[in-house]
């Protein structure tokens, strides 16, 4: 069922704060947290969430509600953080998953990173996009890879491997390629697909 804006707000509050509750929140606590003056209107929102199978009441009373554990979505893969498409920055682990179409998945394990920066814009990869990465430790020349540089920073670039050096190419004419010794670059995955969220 489709949730109203207020029902979605109640549900998102419960999800976002699930780890902070010592006990399931009461209706009074939810009213205070969400700025609602009427317990009656909150009760209607809660009933809609119960009917949608997203929450359940505690002991059938107004004493509290808790989230119903949702089944894992098929093709949901981990979102591991943000990756630079301009200069190397660290990918920050985040306990989230994203649903990805099967045709974008590789043969091996995959993960998702959100792109930060515009150095891959001429390859159609824009700031804020989500890239689907197949976890691999090798790549063919010309593939777009997630590269760990100097064991400390991660970047998304097109790779060129030459004897004695590895060149990471941006896809932006205003930026220059970066050259490293082979032992300074560790391939962590290869681009398989791209997801874009429109406003």
Give the residue numbers annotated as catalytic, written as ranges.
Answer: 119, 157
d(CA 81, CA 96): 9
Nearest alpha carbon to residue 84 among 134, 149, 154, 169? 154
d(CA 191, CA 142): 11
Residue 168 sits at φ, ψ, to 5 deg, of: -105, 115
Residues 6 or more apart in contact with residue 173 via CB below 8 angstroms? 122
Residue 39: CB atoms within 10 A of its CB come to 14
Residue 143: CB atoms within 10 A of its CB come to 14
Helix ranges, the chain (H): 5-16, 27-34, 39-51
């Amino acid at each position: 069922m489709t949730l109203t804006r207020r029902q979605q707000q109640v549900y998102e509050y419960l999800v976002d704060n699930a780890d902070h509750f010592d006990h399931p929140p009461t209706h009074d606590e939810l009213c205070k947290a969400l700025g609602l003056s009427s317990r009656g209107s909150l009760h209607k929102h809660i009933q809609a969430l119960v009917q949608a199978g997203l929450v359940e009441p505690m002991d059938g009373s107004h004493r509290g509600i808790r989230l119903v554990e949702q089944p894992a979505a098929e093709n949901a893969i981990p979102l591991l953080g943000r990756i630079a498409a301009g200069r190397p920055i660290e990918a920050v682990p985040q306990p989230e998953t994203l649903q990805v179409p099967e045709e974008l998945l590789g043969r091996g394990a995959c993960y998702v990173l959100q792109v930060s920066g515009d150095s891959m814009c001429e390859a159609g990869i824009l700031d804020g996009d989500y890239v689907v990465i197949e976890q691999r430790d090798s790549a063919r020349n010309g593939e777009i890879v997630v590269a760990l540089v100097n064991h400390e920073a991660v970047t998304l670039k097109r790779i060129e491997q030459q004897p004695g050096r590895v060149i990471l190419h941006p896809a932006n004419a205003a930026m220059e390629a970066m050259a490293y010794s082979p032992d300074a670059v560790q391939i962590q995955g290869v681009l398989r697909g791209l997801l874009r969220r429109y406003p």
